[in-house]
Structure 1
Amino acid sequence: MKIKGFYNVLSVLVLAAVVLSCKANKAAKPKITNPNIIIIMADDMGYGDLSCYGSTLINTPNLDKMAAEGIRFTDFHANGSVCSPTRAALLTGKYQQRVGIDGVVTAKKHRDKGLATAEKTFAEAIKESGYVTGMFGKWHVGYKTEFNPINQGFDEYIGYVSGNVDYHSHIDQEGYEDWWVDDKIQNEKGYSTDLITKHSVDFIKRHKDEPFLLYIPHEAPHGPFQGRKSAAERYVGWKSGSAPKNKMSEEELNAIYKEMVEVMDEGVGKVMATLKELKIDKNTIVFFCSDNGASRKVGSNGGLRGYKSTLWEGGHRVSAMAWYPGTIEPNQVNNETILTIDLFPTIMSFAGSETPENLDGINLRNNLVKGETLPNRNVFWGYAGRKAIRHDDWKLILRNKNAEPQLYNLKQDISETTNVASEHPELVKTLLQKLEAWSKDVYTDSNK
């Protein structure tokens, strides 16, 4: 009986060990709770180019739906009024002047310039919390391999590193092949907008069971202005300034631009549909914005003054939205003043990750989820010797160091038609002092 009893006790102990082992294994693979993060960026798209922002010419049902199911921002600003600066600010959470990317990194003159690998990108930061990271589309903060997204925190990358490529041949402005798979040139047949969407959807499907960050910087609707059926215009050895094969009329240009925005919107719809099909939509937060306003040539800035490269509102106030079903309430219109740099600390907060020190952006999470008012702050812009500061409803622009300052009350004059600087000399003096202090703080030697 003693032997039998011994075996009974032994059986109980073995069973208990098995149960504990199973629990330990389950504990080692916790259910995903950290939300997936997707950031989608349009290129050179104006404040008035989406139907949810008033366009009657361009149909964007998928972005309209995102806005209706989440938050549509009315006072969201790109950090730069041109491409590279805004992207550098987004990636680092810092004013672009602080990281040495104050202007466009061009294929012709700046092939050795890029975002320093010593700067910590949001991709590098979020990987420390176990996220897998992917990027598909436009980089534009460094041509050399050392600056490639693969060396800046992204596990996967397919796209182009220049300012724009032919949508079909994928040749850049200086006639170089510019379609990369990770850090190797590897051209691919297809319309760039569709390829960016295809690879983004594939990434989501492959990583649906782990927390991921996906950055989708589209080429559309930046030039060259080409639709799905347009002929390729560039070839190896092509040089910028070469005349296109067929010069478009204004009507034809507007029609192509409309198609380019609508194809991008179609791609956004495919990304959103994939999230819902995989039942991970309620665990995914999506941000959408443009990198600057529409160009002077085509597009609509919705009645705002200026266009790409200027520091009037049309240069940097952009359409933007946030979507997180079940967490962000639908049908919201947000009038807070927000910058691209704010996305870095915000996604880190949503991911439960440690936010790097010394960021210039602020965490928007409680504003987006709880409606809390953001802290009062001054925000700044600088490009090509021009500088601007926003203080509450006031905006001061200094077009060069010798120019007379321009002051606008955006609450009363959103189109910046009336310079009221002469009526508020003390305010102008104060804002100029703040602008000068900011400049001394953020501008690197190479940008002064």
Structure 2
Amino acid sequence: MMRLTALFFLTMTLAYAGPHPTATAADLPSKPNVIFILCDDLGWGDLGVLHQNNSQHDKRLHTPMIDQMAAEGIQLRQHYCPAPVCAPSRSSLLTGVHQGHAEVRDNQFDKSLADNHTLATVMKNAGYTTALIGKYGLQGNGDSAETWPAYPTKRGFDEFFGYVRHVDGHVHYPADAWPLGNSENHRQPKQVWHNDREVSAGLSKCYTTDLFTARSKHWIAEQTKSNPQEPFFLYLAYDTPHAALQTPTMAYPEGSGLKGGIQWTGEAGHMINTAEGEIDSYRHPDYVGKGWSDEEERFATMVRRIDHCVGDLLQTLRDLKIDKNTLVVISSDNGPHQESYLSNSNYDPTSFQSYGPLNGIKRDVWEGGIRVATLAWWPGNIPAGKINTEPSQFHDWMPTFADLGGIAAPARTDGVSLRPRLTGKGEAAASQIYVEYSQNGSTPKYEDFSPSHRGKKRGQMQVVHLDGFKGVRVNIKSHNDPFQIFDLKKDPKEQHNLADTNPRFKQLEKRMRDHVLQSRMPNASAKRPYDNVAIPAAKVSEASPGLQWSFYEGDFPYVPKTSGMKPQKTGTSANIDAAELPAGKGAIQWTGWIDVPETGTYQMTLSTSSKAFLRIHQASVLNADFGYQAGQRRTVSIKLAKGYHPIQLTCLSDGQTPPTLDWKWGRSANELTSIEDKSLFRK
């Protein structure tokens, strides 16, 4: 192992050749580069532009570089994470689905990321080179790149450099012991992996915020030099300001970009230019001598370091002359934490009101726990100083990036493209906001929080948005537990529950409970009190026998999400039979309703000669797409109420032989029959 490690560092030293020549207009790829920066536990209120600059609190943070990014781009002021803790949020981000469809839910740290479409596989299909630098935590059981089943390079990333295990990301000096840690686990060095090798031996005194930034700058420069016309997708996942309140070794180096700021040297023992001095020793001068606690100085310094690094990264893009061809998004995986991992001390986000004007923190589904600080920057394409207040969520980034890459998103995604909102061009579709999470704790009793939220038990929690209102319920015991309803535009602190105020909101509350059942599928690893309730039928006033069909021409690498696409051909059919439709290469979609004769649990199976995807209502029911082999039979159990249920069945056609689809259903595996013409209806 020592010989391999030495070989790796020699290779990295030889690969580094100083600043690179800048790109010309002719060199730029036709599709924009995409960089998604994810901070760990950064609160909505931690950014200057969102809260700190106008805060009347006695302690304030400063984020001048990120504020400048906001001034040159757009603030997404109502962007949501999928769940208020890191693993499920990162899972939903990477797979483009909300928590009602994700494989990683609740507190399932280190569970395998679903073997399905990811941001990386989608971007590779669009012609992008892909990299993940930073924290992962979705690898599954194993102990090496070879044995971890969901290692990043097995989920579509061409390049990986960073922490694999969730717990490793709790500390920010991987190669150095930290005597101040509150447990043995937080005092010991951690592993960092680069593709198939563990490389922490050469990372002495490397603070991860600096390390991941330096590695990102180096990778971007190398990519721009070696493949100037090939777009890249970089997922930069910081592990700060989460967990251990550790600070850098020194002040941020002078300058920024290719010739300044943080630099990757590739030299073992001095891998980056800040790997010197004493670990965990620096405090930003803006926060010293103010009478703040040690923990407060530490946290403020950590946030400021992220700010420096973001500014450094943007300057690198300018120096390479690729800034106008690169979309950069920065966000956070959940609300602010209350951790220090220091012996005999703790930290509270009340120090800087990291939750801003909201209630809740990490692990809460109140706004402070799930509304995350999010900005996007794309000079010349996103108008400067733009503010968007429409709700959006992590699963929207997959269709957004696919849209920028010129391809359709997979049918599996629950998101919509945010491109119209970012650029101000085109018609923006409404996002689906959905959160579910379970945790046996309570909302802190902070004085900043409304009395109705202080000490509120969490338990099973859920959030939906419907008709412009937020529905939230906590400590759920059954499907009949009512939602509280809030008008966030008027009441961002969620103090005035509208649910019982008039018949309109009473009806909306019931629709929210119906909407939950129609938008998700149960997962045996994260059971919910409403898993066994039948999905309510739709209210249908008129229906005719048969289905509507649409044909979308194209060479799709997977079953596409068709919303926003214009079909080339449309018509009606009596049943699901592609042989009766016009031939062509692309995707065929049937829509309409199935008439469920009685309430009960139904077994459904699907087999196709091509690839296909079935939704009932908004729930993803049968997936014969990613990794599907022709002729396989996919099976699911689903509980449906008597009545009409909307369906959307999409399949691929190769333009030569009409695809065959065999969709069967029944009350048991022994009673399966094909979906008959008399069960299918259209408008």
The two structures have a TM-score, normalised by structure 2, of 0.55
**Aligned with 1:446 (options 525, 532, 546):** 525
Residues of 2 paired with 1:399 and 1:52: CA distance? Answer: 31
- Counterpart position of 2:113: 115
User: What is the CA-CA distance between 1:436 and the residue it aligns to?
Assistant: 2.8
Secondary structure of the residue aligned to 1:85 is: helix
**TM-fit CA distance, 1:359:** 0.8
2:212 to 173, 180, 196: 196
The correspondence for 2:244, drawn from 216, 224, 236, is 224
CA distance in 2, matches of 1:376, 1:150: 33
Local SS of the residue matching 1:349: helix
SS of equivalent residue, structure 2 residue 210: helix
Structure 2 CA distance for partners of 1:140 and 1:104, relative to 1, 3 Å: farther
Amino acid across the alignment from 2:526: N
1:371-382 aligned at under 5 Å gives the runs 371-372=425-426, 374-376=428-430, 378-382=432-436
1:179 to 181, 185, 192: 192
On the 8 A contact 2:28/2:325 being kept in 1, the answer is: no
Deviations 1:2-36 (A, max 9, x none): xxxxxxxxxxxxxxxxxxxxxxxxxxx98621111
Check 1:251–1:66 CA distance in 2 against 1; reply closer, same or farther (3 A cut). Answer: same
Asked if the contact 1:79–1:86 (Cα under 8 Å) also holds between the matched residues in 2, the reply is yes
Structure 1 residue identity aligned to 2:123: I
1:124, CA displacement in angstroms?
1.2
Give yes or no for contact 1:95–1:442 (8 Å, CA) kept in 2: no
The letter for the 2-side match of 1:388 is V
Q: Normalized per residue, which structure has more strand?
A: 2
Which of 75, 80, 84 is residue 81 of structure 1 equivalent to? 84
Q: 1 CA distance for matches of 2:209 and 2:431?
A: 37
Maintained 8 Å contact 1:406/1:420: yes
CA–CA distance in 2 between the matches of 1:254 and 1:30? 46
Gap runs ≥5 in structure 1: 1-28, 234-248
**Structure 2 residue identity aligned to 1:429:** K
**Does the 8 A contact of 2:83 with 2:89 survive in 1?**
yes
Which residue pairs with 1:13 in the alignment? none
Q: After the TM superposition, which residues 364-443 of structure 1 pair with which residues of structure 2 at under 5 Å, given as runs?
A: 364-372=418-426, 374-376=428-430, 378-384=432-438, 385-402=460-477, 403-423=481-501, 424-438=505-519, 441-443=520-522
Report the residue type matching 1:251 in the other structure: S
- In the alignment, the residues of structure 2 paired with residue 418 and residue 174 of structure 1 have an alpha-carbon distance, to the nearest angstrom, of 46
Higher relative contact order (CA 8 A, sep 6+): 1
Cα distance change, pair 114–232 in 1 and its aligned pair in 2 (3 A)? farther
RMSD (Å), alpha carbons: 2.3
1:340 counterpart = 2:394: yes
Letter of the aligned partner of 2:195 in structure 1?
D
Q: SS of the counterpart of 1:268? A: helix
Q: Which residue of the other structure, out of 305, 324, 344, is the alignment partner of 2:359?
A: 305
The separation in 2 between residues aligned to 1:263 and 1:217, in whole angstroms, is 15
Matched, 1:260 2:335: no
Deviation at 1:102, TM superposition (A): 0.9
CA–CA separation in structure 2 for the residues paired with 1:437 and 1:64: 40
- Matched with 2:39 is 42
Q: Does 1:148 align with 2:151?
A: yes
1:290-314 Cα offsets, whole Å, 9 max, x none, are 1111124325111101111111101
Q: Does 1:165 align with 2:170?
A: yes
- The whole-number CA distance in structure 1 between the counterparts of 2:76 and 2:357 is 16
| Post-superposition offset of 1:404 | 4.8
Query: What is the distance in 2 between the residues matched to 1:293 and 1:310?
Result: 8
2-side partners of 1:387 and 1:313: how far apart? 12
Residue 375 of structure 1: how far off its partner (Å)? 2.8
What is the aligned counterpart of 1:72 among 49, 72, 75? Answer: 75
* Distance of 1:134 and 1:153 partners within structure 2: 9
1:321 aligns with 2:385: no
Alignment gaps of 5+ in structure 2: 1-25, 54-59, 143-147, 178-184, 250-277, 282-290, 339-347, 439-459, 528-683
% identical aligned pairs: 32
> Contact 1:40 / 1:217 at 8 angstroms: preserved in 2?
yes
Task: Please identify which structure carries the higher helix content.
Answer: 1
Cα-to-partner distance string for 1:60-114 (whole Å, 9 max, x where unaligned): 12111111111111111111111011111111111134231112333xxxx5x21
Of 391-400 and 64-73, more deviation after overlay is shown by 391-400
Whether the 8 Å CA contact 2:337–2:361 is kept in 1: the answer is yes
Distance 2:298 2:427 in 1: 40
The 1-side partners of 2:105 and 2:303 are apart by: 27
For normalisation by structure 1, the TM-score amounts to 0.83
Write the distance in 2 (CA, Å) between the matches of 1:316 and 1:373: 26
Cα distance in 1 for residues equivalent to 2:186 and 2:163: 12
The whole-number CA distance in structure 2 between the counterparts of 1:213 and 1:314 is: 29
Farther-moved stretch of structure 1 (119-128 vs 375-384): 375-384
The residue matched to 2:45 in structure 1 has which SS? coil
C-alpha spacing 1:127/1:378, structure 2 compared with 1 (3 Å): closer
1:272 is matched with which residue: 287, 309, 314? Answer: 314
Q: Number of residue pairs matched? A: 397
* Preserved contact between residue 289 and residue 319 of structure 1 (Cα < 8 Å): yes
Amino acid at match of 2:49: C
